[in-house]
Amino acid sequence: MKGIDGTFDVVGAQAALAHFTTIEPARLCHGYLFTGPPAVGKKTFARRLAQSLLCETPKTTVLGYCGTCTGCTLLVAGTHPDYVQSEGRVKIGGDGGNALHDEEITARDLVRALSLHGYRGRHRVVVLGDVAFATHEAANALLKFFEEPPEGVVVILTTSAAGSLLATIRSRFVELAFGPLPRADVERVLLAGGVEPERARFAADVALGSVARARAVLDDDDLGLRDAAHAWFANAVRGEPADASFLRLDDRSLSGAEKRALVGELIELVRTAARDWVALRVAGSDVPLLAADQRTRFDGLPARDGPALVSLLAAVGDAQRLAHTNVSAGLVVEFLRLQLAPPVPAGRPR
Ligand SMILES: [Zn+2]
C-alpha cells in the first residue's frame, strides 16, 4: 500500500482510505458512491478527496494535499471553479421545491456541472450529498455522463439510503461503505477540537459513533434540547400532555429546514431514550445507559411488556422514515407522540 503525500486528516473511513491509497492516480474512477449511516464523515471525506485532487502541488498519491497552493486556498475559501458541492439534501429534477430538500438542481444544471472540463487543472469534482433523483430525466442526465465522461471529472454521491437509488445508477459507481466510528476516535476528535475532557467523554458516550452527532449532542446540551426532549419522551410514554414548544414549530422566523432539523434531533434523542428504557426494563438498573445523565427520567415510567417495547422502538424508526417524506414537522411529532402513548385497552376509543 502506498502512503499519502501531504495532509489527509480523517477518522474512520477504513474502506475509502484502503481504496484510495491502493489505486494509482491514473486509475481513478469517474463516480464514487459513499454509503453509510448519517453523520459518520462521508461528506468530510468527499471534500478532503476533492482537495487532494485539486491540490496543485505535485504528488504521487491520490490522497493528500498541501494546504497552501492556489488550488487548496480556493477550495477552502469555497471559490474553486472546479469544485461543485451541494449543501444539505439535494433533489435533482422535478417540480418546484418542498420542505424535504434543502437544495434543488435541475437535470440541465446537472448536465452542465458534469460536462465541463477543469478550468485550472486536470480535475473537476462534483459532490452531491444525500441525493435523490426525482425524475427519469434527472437520473438519465447522470447516466449520460457515464457514457462519455469528460477527462478528469469525478462525481461523488453520498447517501444513507443507497437502496433508494436506481440500480442502474448504483451500478455505475464504485461503492464505498462508511461505518460508525469507535467511541475512542470520537472522543479523540472532540478533545483535539478543544472540547473539555468531561464533556468530550459524555458526548462520545452518547454519539453512537458519529463526530457530527457528538457535536450536535454538545450543542443540544447547550440549548437545553436534550433535557427538553427527554422530558417530552417521559410525558409521552405516560400519556400525559408533552410540551413540544422547544421544537418551535409555530415560530415563523425558522425555516422549514430548521424545523425539520429540530424534529430530526428530537427523533434521535427519543431513539436514545427508548433504547435506554428498553435496556433498563430488560437488564435492570445496573445497565450502562446511552444517556446516563437522564437516568432519573425513567423512574416511575409505567411498565410495558416486551412486545410493546419492541413495537415502540419500531415506531421511532417509522417516525424517522416519515420525517423524510413531505409530511409536515408538526405531524411527524404528533405521530411519534401517539406511537409512544400507553396502549389503549381494547374497546375504548383513543
Ligand atoms: Zn495544495
**pLDDT tens, 267-309?**
988 988 998 888 888 888 788 787 777 888 888 888 888 888 8
162 and 51 in one domain? Answer: yes
Cα(116) to centroid(ligand 1), Å? 22
Cell representation of residue 290:
446511552
Q: What is the pLDDT of residue 1?
A: 42
- Domain that includes residue 313, residue range: 219-340
Cα(124) to centroid(ligand 1), Å? 15
Cα(15) to centroid(ligand 1), Å? 24
127 and 14 in one domain? Answer: yes
Q: What is the DSSP letter of 326?
A: S
Domain assignment present for 225: yes
DSSP-assigned letters across all residues of 108-137: HHHHHHHHPPPSSSS-EEEEEESEEE-SHH
Cα(155) to centroid(ligand 1), Å? 20
Cα(59) to centroid(ligand 1), Å? 10
Cα(70) to centroid(ligand 1), Å? 7
**Count of alpha carbons within 13 angstroms of residue 294, beta-carbon side:** 28
Cα(60) to centroid(ligand 1), Å? 13
167 and 72 in one domain? Answer: yes
Residue 10 to residue 103: CA distance in whole angstroms: 26
Cα(347) to centroid(ligand 1), Å? 70
138 and 263 in one domain? Answer: no
Domain assignment present for 79: yes
Q: What is the pLDDT of residue 262?
A: 87
Cα(74) to centroid(ligand 1), Å? 10
What is the signed CA dihedral for 218, 220, 226, 229, rounded to 10 degrees? -160
Q: Give me the number of domains the chain comprises.
A: 2
Domain assignment present for 159: yes
Domain assignment present for 208: no
Domain assignment present for 113: yes
Q: What is the pLDDT of residue 349?
A: 57
- Domain end residue (candidates: 177, 205, 227): 177
322 and 271 in one domain? Answer: yes
Residue 63 to residue 83: CA distance in whole angstroms: 16
Q: Which long-range contacts (CB under 8 A, 24 or more apart) does 203-210 make?
A: 205/290, 205/292, 206/272, 206/290, 206/291, 207/183, 208/180, 208/272, 208/290, 209/37, 209/40, 209/179, 209/180, 209/181, 209/182, 209/183, 210/37, 210/38, 210/39, 210/40, 210/41, 210/180, 210/181, 210/186
241 and 171 in one domain? Answer: no
Cα(122) to centroid(ligand 1), Å? 14
Cα(57) to centroid(ligand 1), Å? 5
Residue 200 to residue 282: CA distance in whole angstroms: 29
Domain assignment present for 186: no
Q: What angle do CA 21, 23, 29 make, to 5 degrees?
A: 120
Cα(265) to centroid(ligand 1), Å? 36
- Domain end residue (candidates: 125, 155, 177): 177
CB 67 within 8 A of CB 6: yes
Cα(187) to centroid(ligand 1), Å? 29
Cα(49) to centroid(ligand 1), Å? 12
Residue 158 to residue 162: CA distance in whole angstroms: 9
Cα(55) to centroid(ligand 1), Å? 4
73: CATH: 3.40.50.300
153 and 35 in one domain? Answer: yes
Domain assignment present for 169: yes
Q: Which residues does the chain have with pLDDT short of 70? A: 1-3, 87-90, 93-103, 134, 345-350
Cα(79) to centroid(ligand 1), Å? 14
281 and 157 in one domain? Answer: no
Domain assignment present for 322: yes
137 and 11 in one domain? Answer: yes
Cα(73) to centroid(ligand 1), Å? 7
Cα(215) to centroid(ligand 1), Å? 28
Cα(274) to centroid(ligand 1), Å? 47
Cα(204) to centroid(ligand 1), Å? 32
99 and 236 in one domain? Answer: no
76 and 152 in one domain? Answer: yes
Cα(214) to centroid(ligand 1), Å? 30
Cell representation of residue 124:
473537476
3-state secondary structure of 154: strand
- Domain end residue (candidates: 121, 155, 177): 177
Cα(72) to centroid(ligand 1), Å? 4
172 and 39 in one domain? Answer: yes
Cα(127) to centroid(ligand 1), Å? 19
